Structure 1
Amino acid sequence: DTGGSVLLPCYCADLHTKLQTGLTWKYKTKGDEWEVISSESGQYRDRVQLVNGQSPGNLSLLISHLTEEDGGVYQCYVLGVGHVYLTLTVKGCLLVNRSESLRITAYTGGSVLLPCYCTDLHTKPQTFTWKYKTKGDEWEEISSGSGQYRDRVQLVNGHSPGNLSLLISHLTEEDRGLYQCYVLGVGHVYITLTVKGK
């Protein structure tokens, strides 16, 4: 899952074997080229390490802070010996109702839950934000620390990191309008909120 870690396995038949020749981990780029993975540069900077413990023949690679871009084909290559191919799939947040526009009606003084979910409720997206459209047609981020939503909004995910829903309490008619649940690299859900007097 995105944000997690994965161990790409690669072993010598005898775990006590010390390599006499070079080990290289590579990944296949979108241009079908093999590129060497390095913790010093590129998309894997500071996110990869060899994890052999006390076994010199364990050539496995640990990748942390996974992103969906890390998905693809990997190669564990030992000079003069051979290689192993591995295909990595990284699951991310797929939004329920992505790119759709929902309509919700609520009442002044009450509360409303603006729904936003990943299809897998155990998957937490790396970055997501709630925004509302101002009268000046600008998208502004909603924060519980400032603005008209101060101390009136909270995320209500319980034990489900993939539940991104927003609870707004003490509603006023000023809260009506267009809202957006935006997940970086995935998409958004639009919600039009109507607030009626009691």
Structure 2
Amino acid sequence: MRAVEVDVADSGSVQALVDGLAAEGTPVDVLVNNAGVYPTHRLFAIPEPVFEETLQVTLLGAYRLCRELVPGMIDRGWGRVVNVSSGAGAMTDNVPSPPAYGIAKAALNALTIALAAEVPASVKVNAVCPGWVRTDMGGPAAPLSPAQGADTVVWAALLPPSGPTGGFFRDRKRIPW
């Protein structure tokens, strides 16, 4: 297992990653889409380039990686995609907030549902809300450590063949979209 850094907002960077992995003969069995940005502007105050960057990183970056890597999972008959989302993107409890971030996470949730419906059951696709985590984005007041925030992500990445797909989870429990 290894982690590889890529600029998901740049399709050339994604393609370079995919080409490099193919040249090495390195298959990808688990994809965790965890890239995101957190602008806090009110809706009509979001500068258009900021809104575009938020969608490029959070939604299109995940889409690009899925488009390139999931077909190999299908061919190998096993794979896991974990889209790191947020309760801020849930449509059941609130209007996605802050707007650019919440809208992008709501769209990531929709991508999760669409992708899960598109792939065979051997490839599990789920979204995870890690909670409020002490990271650069979450800040020092967040109640969860990075290890606590990663727990459900790791759980979803290692689901058994009988595990769920097409769901949204926090603390290993399904939550509403």
Larger Rg: 1
Richer in helix (by share): 2
Name the TM-score, length of structure 2 as normaliser: 0.24
Richer in strand (by share): 1
